[in-house]
């Protein structure tokens, strides 16, 4: 869970947002102004262009993401995700991350979203995806799971949390203007949260597989020697 992982995460996140741009647009159009997909795609396209820069550690990568999203993404998503990534960057720092550090990073990101958006679980926002993700990550880390498995647990819980917003009445943001008519619609921010956490998990798993392969090659070379 080093700089290379953070770069893989952000690149995978940009790919996922681009792939699901139309889905995010449609979800947001049903309860908002329909710009979530376009804004997220614009922001992560700008982020992708900066991934060839030199970074001092994973925290530096996430700080770059935060600053870029805040400057490039309109609507609520820019400030919310910008704050999330900034808090995550501060929590993670520039050292390789343990499972416990990953869980703490996710908690810091979630707390940033809550602080910025003033939402809580049950409001039908991205907090309904972030909070179960954090809870699952903390539990996995305390059980001795690897960083990759911590992120997978977080992404799975975020998916369940996002699905739970279908039955909720929105109490924050533009969707809250619809009152009971917002029930039956999945929150687009919760869905994009799942995309980002899935990307983090896949980037971690890819790094673990690469490291295992390298260890295997080394063991094979040693046995031949």
> What CATH number is attached to the domain comprising 77?
1.25.40.340
Q: Is residue 219 part of a domain?
A: no
Mean per-residue pLDDT, 185-201? 97
Q: What is the DSSP letter of 167?
A: G
Tokens of 129: 């995806």
Residue 28 to residues 21, 42, 103, 167, Cα–Cα distance (Å): 11, 16, 29, 16
Q: Is residue 187 part of a domain?
A: yes
Domain that holds residue 102: 3-207
**Is the CB of residue 40 less than 8 Å from the CB of residue 199?**
no
pLDDT in tens, 129-141: 999 999 999 999 9
- Rounded to whole angstroms, the Cα distance separating 66 from 61 reads 9
Residue 53 to residues 60, 61, 171, 204, Cα–Cα distance (Å): 10, 9, 40, 21
Mean per-residue pLDDT, 69-82? 91
Q: Half-sphere exposure of 207 toward its Cβ, with a 13 Å CA cutoff?
A: 23
Of residues 95 and 207, the one with the higher pLDDT is 95
pTM for this entry: 0.90
Q: Is residue 194 part of a domain?
A: yes
- Rounded to whole angstroms, the Cα distance separating 151 from 205 reads 9
3-state secondary structure of 145: coil
Q: How many domains does the chain have?
A: 1
Q: Is residue 200 part of a domain?
A: yes
- Rounded to whole angstroms, the Cα distance separating 1 from 100 reads 12
- Rounded to whole angstroms, the Cα distance separating 62 from 66 reads 6
Q: Is residue 20 part of a domain?
A: yes
pLDDT in tens, 92-138: 988 888 999 999 999 999 999 999 999 999 999 999 999 999 999 99
Q: What is the DSSP letter of 52?
A: T
Q: Is residue 37 part of a domain?
A: yes
Residue 214 pLDDT? 52
Q: Which of 65, 106, 107, 100 is nearest to 86 (CA)?
A: 65
- In sequence order, which ranges of 73-146 are alpha helices (DSSP H)? 77-92, 99-117, 127-142
Mean per-residue pLDDT, 73-93? 93
**Is the CB of residue 120 less than 8 Å from the CB of residue 114?**
yes
Q: Is residue 218 part of a domain?
A: no
């Amino acid at each position: 869970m080093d700089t290379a992982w953070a770069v893989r995460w952000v690149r995978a996140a940009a790919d996922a947002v681009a792939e699901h741009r139309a889905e995010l647009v449609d979800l947001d159009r049903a309860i908002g102004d329909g710009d979530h997909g376009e804004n997220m795609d614009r922001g992560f396209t700008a982020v992708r262009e900066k991934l060839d820069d030199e970074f001092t550690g994973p925290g530096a990568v996430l700080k770059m993401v935060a600053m870029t999203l805040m400057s490039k993404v309109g609507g609520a998503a820019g400030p919310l995700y910008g704050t999330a990534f900034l808090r995550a960057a501060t929590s993670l720092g520039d050292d390789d991350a343990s499972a416990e550090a990953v869980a703490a990073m996710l908690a810091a990101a979630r707390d940033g979203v809550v602080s910025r958006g003033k939402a809580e679980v049950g409001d039908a926002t991205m907090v309904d995806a972030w909070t179960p993700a954090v809870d699952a990550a903390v539990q996995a880390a305390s059980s001795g799971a690897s960083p990759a498995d911590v992120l997978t647990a977080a992404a799975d819980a975020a998916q369940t949390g996002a699905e739970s917003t279908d039955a909720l009445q929105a109490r924050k943001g533009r969707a809250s203007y619809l009152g009971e008519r917002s029930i039956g619609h999945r929150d687009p921010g919760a869905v994009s949260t799942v995309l980002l956490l899935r990307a983090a998990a896949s980037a971690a798993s890819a790094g673990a597989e690469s490291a295992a392969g390298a260890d295997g090659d080394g063991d094979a070379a040693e046995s031949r020697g």
